[in-house]
Amino acid sequence: MALTSIKVSKELRDQVSRLAQQQRMSQHAYLDQLLQEAEEKEFWRRMAEVSAEDYESAVKEDGDHRSPDYRET
Protein backbone atom coordinates (compact mmCIF):
# COMPACT_ATOMS: atom_id res chain seq x y z
CA MET A 1 0.00 0.00 0.00
CA ALA A 2 1.39 3.38 -0.99
CA LEU A 3 1.33 5.97 1.76
CA THR A 4 0.79 9.68 1.41
CA SER A 5 0.10 12.60 3.69
CA ILE A 6 -2.66 15.14 4.08
CA LYS A 7 -2.34 18.60 5.56
CA VAL A 8 -4.36 19.05 8.74
CA SER A 9 -4.05 21.41 11.66
CA LYS A 10 -1.84 20.34 14.55
CA GLU A 11 -4.94 20.31 16.74
CA LEU A 12 -6.72 17.85 14.46
CA ARG A 13 -3.62 15.68 14.16
CA ASP A 14 -3.28 15.60 17.94
CA GLN A 15 -6.97 14.81 18.39
CA VAL A 16 -6.78 11.89 15.95
CA SER A 17 -3.64 10.64 17.67
CA ARG A 18 -5.21 10.87 21.13
CA LEU A 19 -8.44 9.15 20.11
CA ALA A 20 -6.59 6.42 18.22
CA GLN A 21 -4.42 5.74 21.26
CA GLN A 22 -7.50 5.51 23.48
CA GLN A 23 -8.84 2.81 21.16
CA ARG A 24 -5.41 1.14 21.01
CA MET A 25 -5.37 1.64 17.24
CA SER A 26 -2.98 3.21 14.78
CA GLN A 27 -4.02 6.55 13.35
CA HIS A 28 -4.46 4.83 10.00
CA ALA A 29 -6.77 2.16 11.43
CA TYR A 30 -8.71 4.74 13.43
CA LEU A 31 -9.32 6.97 10.40
CA ASP A 32 -10.22 3.93 8.30
CA GLN A 33 -12.80 2.90 10.91
CA LEU A 34 -14.26 6.42 11.04
CA LEU A 35 -14.60 6.52 7.26
CA GLN A 36 -16.23 3.08 7.12
CA GLU A 37 -18.72 4.14 9.79
CA ALA A 38 -19.48 7.37 7.91
CA GLU A 39 -20.06 5.45 4.67
CA GLU A 40 -22.36 2.99 6.42
CA LYS A 41 -24.29 5.83 8.05
CA GLU A 42 -24.71 7.52 4.65
CA PHE A 43 -25.85 4.24 3.08
CA TRP A 44 -28.58 3.76 5.70
CA ARG A 45 -29.59 7.43 5.49
CA ARG A 46 -30.09 7.02 1.75
CA MET A 47 -31.89 3.68 2.20
CA ALA A 48 -34.34 5.35 4.59
CA GLU A 49 -35.33 7.66 1.74
CA VAL A 50 -36.27 4.77 -0.58
CA SER A 51 -39.96 3.96 -0.58
CA ALA A 52 -41.17 0.38 -0.54
CA GLU A 53 -42.53 0.89 -4.05
CA ASP A 54 -39.18 2.16 -5.35
CA TYR A 55 -37.38 -0.77 -3.71
CA GLU A 56 -39.81 -3.29 -5.19
CA SER A 57 -39.48 -1.68 -8.61
CA ALA A 58 -35.67 -1.82 -8.44
CA VAL A 59 -35.73 -5.50 -7.45
CA LYS A 60 -38.06 -6.28 -10.36
CA GLU A 61 -35.85 -4.31 -12.76
CA ASP A 62 -32.59 -5.91 -11.59
CA GLY A 63 -34.07 -9.29 -10.87
CA ASP A 64 -33.79 -11.06 -7.58
CA HIS A 65 -30.34 -12.42 -8.32
CA ARG A 66 -27.78 -12.84 -5.60
CA SER A 67 -24.30 -11.50 -5.97
CA PRO A 68 -21.75 -14.25 -6.74
CA ASP A 69 -20.05 -13.22 -3.48
CA TYR A 70 -23.22 -13.80 -1.41
CA ARG A 71 -23.00 -16.55 1.18
CA GLU A 72 -25.89 -17.62 3.36
CA THR A 73 -25.09 -18.00 7.02
* Phi then psi dihedrals of residue 18, to 5 deg: -65, -45
pLDDT of residue 11: 97
**pTM here?**
0.67
pLDDT one-digit tens code per residue, 28-39: 999 999 999 999
Taking the alpha carbons at both ends of the chain, their separation in whole angstroms is 32
Beta-carbon contacts of 17 under 8 Å, excluding residues fewer than 6 positions away, are 27
CB atoms within 10 A of CB 34: 13
pLDDT at 59 over 90: no
